[in-house]
Amino acid sequence: MPAASKARWNELLALVGRGLMVRTDSREVRPGEVFVLMPTAGARSEAFLAQALANGAAWIVAGPGVALPQGPSHEPSQEPGARLMAVPDAADALGQLAAKYFRTHRQAMQVVAVTGTNGKTTITYLLEGLLAAAGRKVGALGTVSYRWPGACIEASLTTPGCWRLHELFARMSADGVDTVVMETSSHALHQKRVAGLEFDAAVLINLTQDHLDYHGGFEDYYQAKKLLFTSYPCADKFKAANADDPYGLRLLSELPDAVGFTLANAAAPAGNRMLCGTMTACTGKGVSLRMEFEGKCWTLDSGLVGAHNASNLMAAQAVGLGLGLNPGDMQALSPFTGVPGRLERVPNDHGLDIFVDYAHTPDALKNVLRALRALDFSRVLTVFGCGGDRDRTKRPLMGQAVAALSDVAILTSDNPRHEDPLGIMADVRPGLHNGLAAGTTNLTIIEEPDRYTALRLAISQLRPGDVLLVAGKGHESYQQIGDVKHPFSDVEAVGRAIREVRA
DSSP letter for each residue of 6-66: HHHHHHHHHHHHTT--EESSGGG--TT-EEE--GGGGGGHHHHHHHHHHTT-SEEEE-TT-
**Dihedral of the alpha carbons of 398, 401, 402, 406, in degrees to the nearest 10:** 180
pLDDT in tens, 208-237: 755 555 656 778 889 888 988 988 766 678
Is residue 182 within 8 Å of residue 82, measured between CB atoms? no
- Judged by phi (left if over 0) then psi (alpha if -120 to 50, else beta), residue 343 lies in left
pLDDT of residue 73: 44
Is residue 30 within 8 Å of residue 21, measured between CB atoms? yes
pLDDT in tens, 331-341: 999 999 788 88
Is residue 101 within 8 Å of residue 16, measured between CB atoms? yes
- DSSP structural state of residue 357: E
What are the phi and psi torsion angles at 122 (to 5°)? -60, -45
Higher pLDDT, 93 or 303: 93
Please report, as a single letter, which amino acid is at residue 267. Answer: A
Q: What is the pTM of this model?
A: 0.80
* pLDDT value at 72 more than 80: no
Distance (Å, whole) CA 345 – CA 469: 9
Tell me the CA distances in angstroms from 15 to 45, 261, 464, one per residue in order. Answer: 25, 46, 68
- DSSP structural state of residue 333: G
Average pLDDT, the chain: 91
Evaluate the CA torsion angle 125, 128, 133, 137 in order and state its sign: negative
Question: What is the average pLDDT across 172-178?
Answer: 97
* pLDDT value at 75 more than 50: no
Distance (Å, whole) CA 177 – CA 169: 9
pLDDT in tens, 8-41: 999 999 999 999 999 999 999 999 999 999 998 8
Radius of gyration of the chain (CA): 25
Vertex 346: Cα angle to 340 and 351 (nearest 5): 155
Question: What is the average pLDDT across 62-77?
Answer: 70
pLDDT of residue 343: 87
Distance (Å, whole) CA 57 – CA 470: 49
Confidence of residue 57 (pLDDT cuts 50, 70, 90): very high
DSSP letter for each residue of 228-240: HHHTSS-TTSEEE
Helix (H, G, I), strand (E, B) or coil at 273: strand
Please report, as a single letter, which amino acid is at residue 385. Answer: G
Is residue 314 within 8 Å of residue 454, measured between CB atoms? no
Is residue 339 within 8 Å of residue 307, measured between CB atoms? no
pLDDT in tens, 104-159: 988 889 999 999 988 899 999 999 999 999 999 999 999 889 999 999 999 988 88
- DSSP structural state of residue 101: H
Number of other residues whose CB lies within 10 A of the CB of residue 91: 21
Confidence of residue 447 (pLDDT cuts 50, 70, 90): very high
Confidence of residue 344 (pLDDT cuts 50, 70, 90): confident
Number of other residues whose CB lies within 10 A of the CB of residue 382: 27
- What structural domains does the chain harbor? 3-99 (3.40.1390.10), 106-333 (3.40.1190.10), 344-501 (3.90.190.20)
Helix (H, G, I), strand (E, B) or coil at 339: strand
The shares of helix, strand and coil residues in the chain, as percent rounded to the nearest 5, are: 40, 20, 40
Span of 146-160, 359-373, 437-451 with lowest mean pLDDT: 437-451
pLDDT of residue 209: 54
Percentage of residues in the chain having pLDDT higher than 70: 94
